[in-house]
């Protein structure tokens, strides 16, 4: 019985022996092919006689500086191998001897150059010897390993694939193993590039993935991975080094965007976008993700090594995300939105049936050429909806069963794009695969505007004309297609009945030149937009007044006369002061003063000390308007202070309202009840502007006056103005 067993064993052995031999030859050939540089190195396997071979390398000792760490393990059922580490002075040429003592099998491999060797062992005890020789066979070291197939350790890894990903301040390592290694928990050791020692080793809780934390984003790291030893994996060799580039933390900056129409391709535009990345040399390239704002797939990801991209896109709205990337991280993205470019040239019409259906019509000449289309519709500020369709007979398409109902009073923009595809009509790529045919707008239900044109203003007012300006009504307030504006203007008289006029202007205008007006007449203006559903809200009445037919030089003369008359009326203190005016002291802010007050409505008293340069006064005086009405009204308004007065029909009040607004917005404010020099100064250019000429208040003068005013307040509160003060009365 035992003999038969032995025979069959022998037969198997013979068979395996042949296998091993052939295997050795193959390995030998591979090694020869692998190392063509070492032309004189020849690797071969030879049968050996155990006694002979032992004797041959008897003199080779086991030495810590020699070949060491010889280990043999099993990768899989038929994959066993031994590895070792070279000695310090090794020539890196090894002799590998495998002996299976019980069966008297002995095979030797000579002239190995790599520190590992595959082997085939049978179910017997075996011994492996590796001899490293230098300076000929005389000087050699050896390493010995003994084991049996049963006790052979199983080794797992290193991982076949390592994917490091940097997240802020951390590193995620995902690995893949060869099939026979199964799934394993992993240990990761890491060090910053340039650092000698490994930092701590991080062991994962879950298989195949580990997280290393508290890393410095700007550093490049080196990592190695091994499995965590278990019963199945008693051996876990470290992997090779993996270099993890630094974390990309800054986003690219878009430098320029250009949208250019393409001559040969109507309905397409060439989009050129360039950007820069503030950090150099840390990235491998850029990743650009492009998709339609409507959300229609595909969302295409393009990579480029240059900081620019050129795309041929339709007039639809698109969104781009641009990031830099390296093999471990992706930078935050810079986003760019390419707005829709709409054009309505009557090629596309839309008819609304109800809140869930509408039909679009296009020209019949397209039918033969294109069969794939996409219709997009959107309301302002929304990404919109889309439907792609196949149509080869009619030049119209009804879009029905809308998931989101059409809202009344809301403008929808609908666009038709053509697709060169023939089959599914869905886009396969974003670039260069669609052109825009046309777009149009529609309302489900129209209404009239719910707001009025804003910012109504008047410019270039003359004796008989004025330019009226306003701003557009926002689209969401129009609630229909704007057909134009109506300007209502009325002559404004105190007691007489007023005459109403109206004029209609086209919807594109925001200004109108009103002509043939009466001079010196106040006009009240209101303006509104209108749609097919009628007029919208009118703007609040605003009033302007055409110029008086008063000659400018006559006004000046009257003003001068008034001043002179006042001077005379107030006699000797004036003459005293006149000296000071003619030979002025240097202005001294500590003493200078401009004192004014209103003694009674309609009377303006100007008190001033010599510090006010006489030329300031004289340059102002000719421009002072002397129209009694105006001055009275103004004084009335001023004495009211800054308080709001209801916008009643009073022309003068409205006019003054406007002027008061100017005062408030000026850097010089003044206290209610007192009429100050600043006010006087402020008013002057105002009046002059109306008169058609202009003087700008000299900044230095104003500054002096401002400081003077504060000074006045102080003086006034401590000592009342004495008779030494120069007093001038205007009217």
Ligand X SMILES: *[C@@H]1O[C@H](CO)[C@@H](O)[C@H](O)[C@H]1NC(C)=O
Coil/strand/helix, residue 120: coil
Candidate segments 26-34, 42-50, 524-532, 586-594, binder of ligand X by CB under 6 A: 42-50
Binding of ligand X by 197 (CB under 6 A): yes
Counting every residue written for the chain, the total comes to 731
Coil/strand/helix, residue 513: strand
Of 200 and 644, nearer to ligand X (C-beta) is 200
Candidate segments 18-26, 34-42, 419-427, 692-700, binder of ligand X by CB under 6 A: 34-42
Say if residues 285 and 325 touch (Cβ distance below 8 Å): yes
Q: Which of 54, 274, 387, 432 binds ligand X (CB under 6 A)?
A: 432
In degrees, rounded to 5, the angle at the alpha carbon of residue 103 between the alpha carbons of residues 99 and 108 is 25
> How far is C-alpha 363 from the chain's CA centre?
40
Binding of ligand X by 199 (CB under 6 A): yes
Of 66 and 115, nearer to ligand X (C-beta) is 66
Binding of ligand X by 214 (CB under 6 A): yes
Measured distance CA(673)–CA(675) in Å, rounded = 7
Least distance CB 313 / ligand X (angstroms): 9
Of 184 and 326, nearer to ligand X (C-beta) is 326
Binding of ligand X by 435 (CB under 6 A): no
Residue whose C-alpha is closest to residue 268's, from 327, 323, 335, 314: 314
Least distance CB 214 / ligand X (angstroms): 5
Binding of ligand X by 462 (CB under 6 A): no
Of 166 and 660, nearer to ligand X (C-beta) is 166
Measured distance CA(299)–CA(652) in Å, rounded = 64
Say if residues 434 and 314 touch (Cβ distance below 8 Å): yes
Candidate segments 76-84, 240-248, 415-423, 569-577, binder of ligand X by CB under 6 A: 240-248
Of 197 and 256, nearer to ligand X (C-beta) is 197
> What is each CA distance from 593 to 562, 571, 677, in whole angstroms?
23, 21, 10
Residue nearest to ligand X (CB): 471
498-537: contacts with ligand X (CB under 6 A):
502
Binding of ligand X by 174 (CB under 6 A): no
Binding of ligand X by 44 (CB under 6 A): yes
Least distance CB 627 / ligand X (angstroms): 24
Binding of ligand X by 52 (CB under 6 A): yes
Q: Which of 272, 359, 445, 467 binds ligand X (CB under 6 A)?
A: 467
Q: Which of 148, 201, 230, 383 binds ligand X (CB under 6 A)?
A: 148
Candidate segments 454-462, 585-593, 657-665, 720-728, binder of ligand X by CB under 6 A: 454-462
Least distance CB 271 / ligand X (angstroms): 9
Say if residues 622 and 559 touch (Cβ distance below 8 Å): yes
Say if residues 505 and 512 touch (Cβ distance below 8 Å): yes
Residue 258 burial (C-beta neighbours within 10 Å; 0-12, 13-18, 19+) = exposed
286-345: contacts with ligand X (CB under 6 A):
302, 309-312, 327
Candidate segments 72-80, 133-141, 329-337, 517-525, binder of ligand X by CB under 6 A: 133-141
Measured distance CA(661)–CA(675) in Å, rounded = 16
648-677: contacts with ligand X (CB under 6 A):
none
Binding of ligand X by 259 (CB under 6 A): no
State the binding string over 692-721 for ligand X (x if CB under 6 A, else -). ------------------------------
Least distance CB 459 / ligand X (angstroms): 3
Residue whose C-alpha is closest to residue 118's, from 78, 170, 160, 87: 78
**End-to-end alpha carbon distance in the chain:** 148
90-129: contacts with ligand X (CB under 6 A):
102, 110-111, 124-125
Q: Which of 7, 14, 15, 42 binds ligand X (CB under 6 A)?
A: 42
570-599: contacts with ligand X (CB under 6 A):
none
Q: Which of 3, 4, 61, 346 binds ligand X (CB under 6 A)?
A: 346
Least distance CB 125 / ligand X (angstroms): 4
Measured distance CA(98)–CA(48) in Å, rounded = 9
Coil/strand/helix, residue 651: helix
Of 124 and 343, nearer to ligand X (C-beta) is 124
Candidate segments 227-235, 459-467, 615-623, 647-655, binder of ligand X by CB under 6 A: 459-467
Strand bridging mode 68-76 / 153-154: parallel
Of 147 and 520, nearer to ligand X (C-beta) is 147
Candidate segments 14-22, 26-34, 192-200, 658-666, binder of ligand X by CB under 6 A: 192-200
Least distance CB 70 / ligand X (angstroms): 16
Measured distance CA(294)–CA(388) in Å, rounded = 12
> What is each CA distance from 675 to 44, 199, 566, 601, 638, in whole angstroms?
116, 80, 18, 11, 7
Q: Which of 20, 45, 66, 267 binds ligand X (CB under 6 A)?
A: 66
Least distance CB 579 / ligand X (angstroms): 46
Angle at which helices 651-665 and 628-639 cross, to 10°: 60
With tokens 């297609």, the residue in question is 481
Count of residues interacting with ligand X (CB under 6 A): 51
Binding of ligand X by 264 (CB under 6 A): no
Residue whose C-alpha is closest to residue 606's, from 635, 646, 586, 580: 635
DSSP-assigned states of every residue in 520-569 = T-EEEEEEEEEETTEE-PPPPPEEEEPPPS--HHHHHHHHHHHHHHHHHH
Candidate segments 113-121, 134-142, 476-484, 547-555, binder of ligand X by CB under 6 A: 134-142
> How far is C-alpha 447 from the chain's CA centre?
37
Q: Which of 37, 135, 516, 586 binds ligand X (CB under 6 A)?
A: 135
Coil/strand/helix, residue 455: strand
Binding of ligand X by 58 (CB under 6 A): no
> What is each CA distance from 720 to 402, 473, 573, 612, 716, in whole angstroms?
82, 56, 17, 19, 5
Residue whose C-alpha is closest to residue 257's, from 198, 212, 199, 318: 318
Q: Which of 86, 245, 536, 587 binds ligand X (CB under 6 A)?
A: 245
Of 530 and 712, nearer to ligand X (C-beta) is 530
Say if residues 317 and 347 touch (Cβ distance below 8 Å): no
DSSP state of 198: -
Least distance CB 154 / ligand X (angstroms): 19
Of 42 and 114, nearer to ligand X (C-beta) is 42
Least distance CB 301 / ligand X (angstroms): 11
348-377: contacts with ligand X (CB under 6 A):
349, 361-363
Of 456 and 604, nearer to ligand X (C-beta) is 456
DSSP-assigned states of every residue in 40-70 = T---EEEE--HHHHHHHTTTPBP-TTSSEEE
Of 148 and 588, nearer to ligand X (C-beta) is 148
DSSP-assigned states of every residue in 342-374 = ---SSS-EEEEEETTEEEEE--GGGTTT--EEE
* Residues at the site binding ligand X, with contacts judged by CB under 6 A: 40-42, 44, 49, 52, 65-66, 87, 89, 102, 110-111, 124-125, 134-135, 139, 141, 148, 164, 195, 197, 199-200, 214, 242-243, 245, 284, 302, 309-312, 327, 346, 349, 361-363, 431-432, 454-455, 459-460, 467, 469, 471, 502
């Amino acid at each position: 019985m035992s003999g038969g067993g032995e025979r069959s064993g022998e037969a198997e052995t013979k068979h395996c022996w042949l296998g091993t031999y052939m295997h050795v030859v193959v390995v030998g050939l591979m090694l020869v092919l692998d190392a063509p540089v070492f032309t004189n190195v020849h690797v071969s396997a030879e049968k050996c006689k155990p006694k002979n071979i032992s004797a041959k390398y008897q003199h080779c000792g086991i030495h810590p500086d020699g070949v060491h760490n010889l280990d043999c393990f099993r990768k899989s059922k038929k994959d066993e191998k031994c590895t070792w580490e070279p000695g310090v002075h090794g020539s890196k040429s090894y002799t590998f001897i495998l002996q299976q003592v019980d069966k008297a099998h002995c095979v030797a491999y000579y002239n190995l150059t790599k520190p590992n060797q595959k082997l085939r062992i049978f179910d017997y005890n075996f011994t492996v010897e590796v001899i490293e020789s230098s300076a000929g066979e005389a000087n050699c070291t050896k390493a010995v390993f003994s084991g049996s197939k049963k006790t052979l350790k199983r080794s797992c890894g290193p991982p076949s694939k390592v994917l490091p990903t940097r997240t802020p301040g951390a590193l995620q390592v995902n690995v893949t193993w060869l099939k026979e290694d199964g799934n394993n928990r992993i240990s990761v050791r890491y060090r910053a590039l340039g650092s000698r020692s490994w930092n701590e080793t991080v062991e994962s809780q879950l298989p195949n993935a580990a997280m290393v934390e508290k890393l410095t984003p700007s550093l490049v790291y080196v990592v190695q991975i091994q499995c965590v030893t278990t019963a199945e994996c008693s051996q876990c060799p470290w992997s090779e080094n993996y270099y993890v580039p630094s974390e990309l933390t800054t986003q690219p900056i878009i430098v320029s965007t250009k949208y250019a129409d393409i001559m040969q391709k109507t309905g397409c535009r060439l989009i050129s976008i360039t950007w820069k990345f503030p950090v150099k040399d840390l990235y491998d390239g850029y990743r650009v993700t492009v998709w339609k704002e409507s959300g229609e797939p595909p969302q295409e990801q393009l990579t480029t090594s240059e900081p620019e991209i050129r795309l041929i896109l339709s007039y639809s709205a698109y969104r781009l995300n641009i990031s830099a990337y390296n093999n471990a991280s992706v930078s935050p993205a810079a986003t760019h939105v390419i707005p829709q470019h709409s054009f309505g040239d009557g090629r596309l019409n839309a008819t609304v049936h109800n809140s869930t259906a509408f039909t679009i019509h296009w020209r019949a000449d397209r039918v033969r050429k294109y069969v794939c289309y996409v219709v997009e519709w959107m309301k302002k500020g929304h990404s919109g909806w889309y439907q792609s369709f196949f149509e080869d007979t009619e030049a119209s398409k009804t879009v029905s069963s809308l998931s989101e109902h059409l809202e009344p009073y809301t403008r929808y923009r609908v666009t038709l794009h053509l697709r060169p595809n023939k089959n599914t009509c869905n886009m396969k790529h974003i670039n260069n695969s669609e052109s825009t045919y046309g777009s149009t707008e529609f309302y489900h239900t129209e209404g009239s505007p719910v707001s009025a044109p804003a910012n109504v203003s008047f410019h270039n007012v003359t004796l008989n004309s004025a330019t009226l300006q306003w701003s557009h009504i926002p689209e969401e307030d129009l609630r229909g297609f704007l057909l134009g504006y109506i300007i209502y203007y009325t002559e404004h008289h105190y007691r007489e009945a007023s005459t109403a006029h109206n004029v209609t202007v086209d919807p594109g205008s925001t200004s109108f030149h009103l002509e043939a007006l009466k001079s010196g007449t106040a006009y009240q203006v209101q303006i509104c937009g209108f749609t097919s559903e009628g007029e919208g809200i009118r703007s609040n009445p605003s009033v302007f007044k055409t110029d008086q037919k008063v000659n400018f030089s006559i006004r000046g003369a009257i003003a001068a006369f008034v001043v002179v008359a006042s001077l005379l009326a107030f006699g000797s203190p004036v003459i005293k002061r006149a000296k000071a005016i003619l030979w002025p002291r240097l202005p001294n802010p500590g003493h200078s003063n401009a004192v004014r007050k209103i003694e009674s409505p309609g009377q303006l008293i100007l008190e001033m000390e010599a510090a006010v340069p006489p030329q300031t006064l004289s340059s102002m005086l000719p421009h002072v308007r002397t129209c009694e009405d105006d001055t009275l009204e103004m004084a009335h308004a001023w004495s009211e202070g800054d308080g709001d007065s209801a916008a009643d029909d009073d022309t003068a009040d409205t006019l003054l309202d406007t002027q008061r607004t100017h005062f408030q917005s000026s850097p010089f404010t003044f206290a209610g009840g007192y009429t100050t020099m600043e006010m006087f100064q402020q008013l002057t250019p105002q009046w002059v502007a109306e008169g058609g000429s202009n003087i700008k208040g000299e900044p230095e003068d104003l500054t002096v006056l401002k400081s003077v005013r504060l000074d006045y307040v102080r003086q006034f509160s401590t000592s009342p103005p004495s008779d030494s003060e120069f007093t001038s009365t205007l009217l």
